[in-house]
Amino acid sequence: MFDYFYHEILRKTIVTFGTLFNNISIQKKDSDGNLLEVIKVPLAYGPTQKFLARLEQEPNLNKPVQITLPRMSFEFVGLAYDNSRKLAPTQAFSAATKVDGKDIRKAYMPVPYNMDFQLSIMTQLNDDMLQIVEQILPYFQPSFVLSINLVESIGEKRDIPLTLENITMQDDYEGDFNTRRALIYTLNFTAKTYLFGPISGPETSKDIIKKVTIGYTAGDSGSRQVTYTSEAKATKNYTGDIETNLSQDIGLTDQEITVDDASNIDVNTYITINEETLKVRSKNINTLIVERGAYNTKVLNHVLGSPVKRITSTDDQLIVAGDDFGFSGSLWKINLII
């Protein structure tokens, strides 16, 4: 049912989250304020319980505390669809490959998902905890933006907001005086990322015949050879590039429309407004006479300001298996054979 693809988006987001906290340190000073020691706080991926169990099972309770504590750990704990950022599932965009910029790829709009993270901070001393927390919190108001290259093949780089949701505090101290104390702060974060589906390209559209040429010879003594060429034409805009906008509302029966700027829209070309495709029959400055519902698309009402997109040869190259498409035919060579 599904073709294999893997953009490593979840993995990249997890790694990027971890790198935010891998350079935190605390300082030890004497009573006069002189710096005695700088300790870099180790960071590891894993649940808090794993590190607490290691502390409790440590046989040498007289071991210097800074070797074990302070410590930080983080974990990816949840994934949920974000309906508030939902986009039209059939909307697509195009992008050039990162290698040469000439190979145009098509991708459908990404799906918004929220990734939940927990960052746990464990210390023995309260001052150590306060030093660590104060190095983190000022950057979250309550969000901090991560810039992640989500899909490297097309250079799709997006800013992912990382939001600090809440902080919980725990003082884990039970048992006798030989039991080691552990202060635990848990910071809960949400990263608003996007998941992309497969990216189409030459390898995914190689089974589509984009151009067909047929030669036909007829007649006995004086034959005529006719060559006919037909090419697949896109019936909708794939690139997502907006050419102009409507400057008035359009009803279901209107065939005359006005746009802000029609200088780049030629006669006998196709445009799309929302989910409807229209053919431009003629134009007068910024007024277009159009054929509604071209390529059997549904005629719709459109409001002022709606984006108008051109269907170009770039869109023709983005047709993939399963898409609807039209044809353009041309009689391009006639030779008389004597």
SS (H, E, C) 135-160: HHHHHCCCEEEEEEEEEHHHCEEEEE
More confident residue, 329 or 159: 159
Whether 121 contacts 187, CB under 8 Å: yes
Q: Could you give the CA distance from residue 97 to residue 156 in angstroms, rounded to a whole number?
A: 10
pLDDT at site 203 = 47
pLDDT at site 134 = 94
Residue 155 has pLDDT above 90, yes or no: no
Please name the residues in contact with 52: beta carbons below 8 A apart, sequence gap of 6 or more.
122, 172, 182, 184
Extract the tokens encoding 135: 């190095």
pLDDT at site 158 = 87
> Residue 138's pLDDT band (boundaries 50, 70, 90)?
very high
Q: Could you give the CA distance from residue 40 to residue 112 in angstroms, rounded to a whole number?
A: 36
Section 156-184 average pLDDT: 78
Q: Of the spans 199-203, 214-218, 242-246, 334-338, which averages the highest pLDDT?
A: 242-246
Whether 294 contacts 279, CB under 8 Å: yes
pLDDT at site 188 = 95
Burial, 331: exposed, middle or buried (Cβ in 10 Å; 0-12, 13-18, 19+)? exposed
> Residue 101's pLDDT band (boundaries 50, 70, 90)?
low
> Residue 161's pLDDT band (boundaries 50, 70, 90)?
very high
Residue 241 has pLDDT above 90, yes or no: no
pLDDT at site 81 = 93
Q: Of the spans 67-71, 188-192, 210-214, which averages the highest pLDDT?
A: 188-192
Of 18-22, 100-104, 208-212, 246-250, the range with the lowest mean pLDDT is: 208-212
pLDDT at site 67 = 46
pLDDT at site 70 = 87
Section 159-169 average pLDDT: 93
> Residue 219's pLDDT band (boundaries 50, 70, 90)?
low
> Residue 54's pLDDT band (boundaries 50, 70, 90)?
low
Please name the residues in contact with 292: beta carbons below 8 A apart, sequence gap of 6 or more.
254, 255, 276, 278, 299
Hey, what amino acid is at 250?
Answer: I
Of 89-93, 134-138, 308-312, 315-319, the range with the lowest mean pLDDT is: 89-93
Whether 97 contacts 105, CB under 8 Å: yes
Whether 233 contacts 241, CB under 8 Å: no
Q: Which residues of 92-114 are buried (b: 16+ CB within 10 A; e: fewer)?
A: bbbbebeeeeeebbbbbbbbbbb
Average pLDDT, the chain: 78
Q: Could you tell me what percent of the chain has a pLDDT over 90?
A: 25
Helix (H) / strand (E) containing 301: none
pLDDT at site 207 = 47
Comparing C-alpha atoms, which of 204, 179, 153 is closest to residue 55?
179
pLDDT at site 314 = 77
CATH 3.30.2000.40 placement within the chain = 9-78+114-148+155-195
CATH code for residues 9-78+114-148+155-195: 3.30.2000.40
Section 164-183 average pLDDT: 72
Please name the residues in contact with 286: beta carbons below 8 A apart, sequence gap of 6 or more.
247, 258, 259, 260, 261, 262
